[in-house]
Amino acid sequence: MARDFDARRSADVEEDELQEQSLETLKAQRAGAAADLGDDMDALEAELDLPDAEVRDEELSLRVLPRQADEFTCTSCFLVQHRSQLADPRRTVCADCAA
């Protein structure tokens, strides 16, 4: 937006008042939209049939193995990789991250 710096400053005060009023209007609209969104989400969730909804409340059990002797942890992606994927032994970076 172009601005005339030679113009009187009273116009700036009017613009500031308009911006404050529009800011208050936007805040009121945002609060109204947030309230509407919360109501719509409940109705939307009721309409959706999620395929894994029955699994959501179950506790998952997974056996986690510690890093093996022939594996390393990449210092770039932090994934545990097999030694065959080691691209830079000094930096301990896997082939995918070195590329």
- The two tokens of residue 59 are 């506790």
Pairing of strands 86-88, 80-82: unpaired
Residue in the structure block whose two tokens are 């911006």: 19
Radius of gyration, CA atoms only, the chain: 29
- The two tokens of residue 91 are 């930096």
Paired strand residues for 93: 88
- pTM for the complete prediction? 0.40
Band of residue 95 on the pLDDT scale cut at 50, 70, 90: very high
Instruction: Express each pLDDT in 29-44 by its tens digit.
Output: 777 776 655 555 555 5
Whole-number Å distance between alpha carbons of 81 and 88: 13
Task: Look at residue 27 in the predicted model and tell me its pLDDT.
Answer: 81
